[in-house]
Structure 1
Amino acid sequence: MRLFDTPLSALGVRDLDLWRDLARPDGRLTSPYLLPDFAHEVDAQRHDVHVIIAEENSAPIGYFAYHAPQGGIARPVGAPLSDYQGFAAIPGFKVCEKALLSAMGADVLVYDNWQGEALGKVRSQTRSSIIDLSEGVTTWMARKEQTQHKHFKKLRQRQRKAEREFGPIRIEFGDPLGERFETLRAWKSAQYRQTGLLDLFDIQWVDALIRNCASRSFGPFRGLVASLYLGDQLAAVEMGIVAADIYHSWMPAYDPAFRAVSPGHLLLQGIIEAAPNMRINRIDLGGGEYAYKDAYTDYETVLQGGRAMKPSAAMASLKAWDSAEAACKILPGPLSKAPLKLRRRWAHTAAAEPVLTQRVKRMGAAFLKAPQRLTA
């Protein structure tokens, strides 16, 4: 196998078409995040996306988009926003991590949602939950009523409660004026600030990427904005991306004033019921352990977090963090987890913020505004 590195902007139509084909290893798209269309949307904002092309017998067998290394560290395209990462490649594809790092000109590859054969040391694992509507919504609902009757009975009770207290439920798709996206953005930013998390919408390239994807309402790769109204009041908005027959939920948010009627669940149910009209057969809810997913999930895709490294200053720095985490485990109570939380916050900030001075500034703000997150 030979590995070639090229800027994304240098790829021609032939490679882009082959890339799209390889993202469908069994004739079905694995995830919209593994398409060149997503990589192009990111590169339009970051201007630093490269692609590794894996070839065998002079024929491409895999494509991997990533951000050019900074300080020796490379990350998959769109990190930390990309819910799927890795190669779009032939079934059974494997790559030598040393050869890959060499081809990228990187000392370390850090990933958090790797799909397929993981590289280097795996440090975490999550599962992306998928709703399979390929047999039709009616069949799906009948099956779920048998296995998840309690959940859907409670959902119907909340539907009735919502309509009694606020008015008729209405689901709307699309956002021609961008007003619903702005509401979603405001709710999500408030949530980030209140919980002490990094406000992703405060980072220019992230804000522009999500906004541009939301505005792509047509074509084989597009955004989908879905909104829940209770009476005349906007209660919840969700934005995701659609490609082939997959809708991937990306940015959900709701008005806390309606928390008692579970507006997010009501909106998800509306999306499920409308999916066939939008030619959507699968809804990917993404990774993370949330109790509600148990009621909806038909199968899961394993995603892994970890890093591939070679001897370097970047590797030494990461190893020093490992040692600090191990040493602090003997400390009492919450202090034992402080280095781990600090490292996670830095890793998240470093992935989202490409400018070093801004990373330091954002970390300083995190200490001032929410120090409890590091010691709680």
Structure 2
Amino acid sequence: MRTMSGLDVTVHRTGALDASLREAWHRAMDESPEYANPFLAPEFAAGVGRHRGAARVAVLRDGADPVGFLPFERNALGVGRAIGLGLSDCQALVHRPGVTWDSDELLRACGLSIFEFDHLVAEQKPFGRHVTGTFASPVIDLEPADRDGDYATWLRGAYPGLAKTTLKKERRLGRNVGEMRFVHDERDPAALRTLMRWKSAQYRRTGRMDRFARPWIVDLVTHLFQVREEHFTGVLSVLYAGDRPVAAHFGPRSRTVFAAWFTAYDPELSYYSPGLIMHLRLAEAAGRDGVRLMDMGRGEKEYKDWLKTRELRVGEGFASRPHPVAAAHRLWRRPVRGLRNTVLAHPSLREPADRLLKAVGTLRSPGRPRPGSSAP
């Protein structure tokens, strides 16, 4: 146990938190809306911890009361990173209102020389001086849906500019392939395997890193699909034309926030804009299910501009204390991030980069095994 500004700090494996600590963590999420994102829930941290041995959580106590929780990953050299970095779309030290803390003392108590993050919530003021850039994270504010209304009525009211074309494409898809059907909470594991197979092919086709080529990510998503708790539920949604899956999405939700995560569709049906239809169907169904905010995550995409009602800000950077390992890690990682962000921020650079990645994708062997094919 270490002390930080009057708080006691203990570090635990993510799966070792007892029911009382998880309840205290949930209470901190409930008391501060900025921490209601499901990526900040103990269930996500525990899921990552099942497959990443370096996953830990620091528990901050005021006397006997647990008042704060920081999930992170740490290597043998004391280099830390937000838990699930590269997968998580929201990162923070989750704490109860009024709790104050110091970033240097926190790192020391966790045994870290540096802590890397890329989706830090804006309210994390003690980390503020370590933020190297802030970025938009588009969100959709969802009003309670009229339970007597249908999807088409909701769509015309929420997105009048998209409704006519989108509904026309849905009707055409229904005529040409099969009757349209949307399942918001699909429990068939085969549908999840289809989504991962589609997404893996999309990554390869567009020259991106194939996340589902990594067995631990396949296992993590498969595990989270089975988690059904009040503050974290893995939700798989599927759009069908007849019995044929057309598009699918998997993402976590808390009591009030739904996180858009993995969306993919049958590329043979891209003419019908199945990805856009999926996001619209998701927003309507989530609102009916009590969700008040749909977080689409950091990144510039045209469909996000069409759908967002506003933007949150998330931070990227390296919280560090004076240490040679921290300096070396920052010198190695910061130029890579800077180059990536420069490309993403300028369409004149982003579009040629996309074309290059797609060209590389066409050279990849289509015959390699499909990740996720062995998942239960």
User: TM-score normalised by the shorter chain: which range applies?
Assistant: 0.7 to 0.9
Note the C-alpha offset of 1:201: 1.4
Matched, 1:73 2:79: yes
Equivalent residue number for residue 96 of structure 1: 102
Matched residue type, 2:141: D
Matches within 5 A, 1:132-151: 132-137=141-146, 145=156, 148-151=159-162
Match of 1:6 among 8, 11, 15: 11
Note the C-alpha offset of 1:209: 0.7
Equivalent residue number for residue 107 of structure 1: 113
Note the C-alpha offset of 1:263: 0.3
Match of 2:165 among 154, 157, 160: 154
Equivalent residue number for residue 270 of structure 1: 281
Matched residue type, 1:212: H
Matched, 1:86 2:92: yes
Distance in 2, Cα, partners of 1:81 & 1:291: 21
CA contact (8 A) 1:247 1:282 kept: yes
Unmatched 5+ residue regions in structure 1?
Answer: 326-336, 345-365
Matches within 5 A, 1:120-269: 120-137=129-146, 145=156, 148-216=159-227, 220-269=231-280
Equivalent residue number for residue 359 of structure 1: none
Note the C-alpha offset of 1:141: 8.6
* Most deviating of 202-211 and 18-27: 18-27
Equivalent residue number for residue 68 of structure 2: 62
Distance in 1, Cα, partners of 2:36 & 2:153: 26
Distance in 1, Cα, partners of 2:243 & 2:221: 26
Note the C-alpha offset of 1:231: 3.2
CA contact (8 A) 1:321 1:343 kept: no
CA contact (8 A) 1:5 1:50 kept: no
Distance in 2, Cα, partners of 1:28 & 1:340: 29
Query: 1:130-181: CA deviations, max 9, x gaps?
Result: 3233332569998975784322232223223322332321112444441111
Distance in 2, Cα, partners of 1:247 & 1:193: 27
Distance in 2, Cα, partners of 1:241 & 1:211: 12
CA contact (8 A) 1:171 1:270 kept: yes
Distance in 2, Cα, partners of 1:130 & 1:51: 28
Equivalent residue number for residue 41 of structure 1: 47
Q: Residue 156 and residue 212 in structure 1: after superposition, are their counterparts in 2 closer, same or farther (change >3 A)?
A: same
Q: Residue 212 and residue 321 in structure 1: after superposition, are their counterparts in 2 closer, same or farther (change >3 A)?
A: closer
Matched, 1:296 2:307: yes
Q: Which secondary structure state, in structure 2, belongs to the residue aligned with residue 292 of structure 1?
A: helix
CA contact (8 A) 1:69 1:106 kept: no
Distance in 2, Cα, partners of 1:50 & 1:321: 24
Distance in 2, Cα, partners of 1:231 & 1:98: 57
Amino-acid identity (%): 25
Note the C-alpha offset of 1:86: 0.8
Q: Which secondary structure state, in structure 1, belongs to the residue aligned with residue 86 of structure 2?
A: coil
Aligned length: 336
Unmatched 5+ residue regions in structure 2?
Answer: 344-356, 364-376
Note the C-alpha offset of 1:340: 2.7
Distance in 1, Cα, partners of 2:290 & 2:338: 46
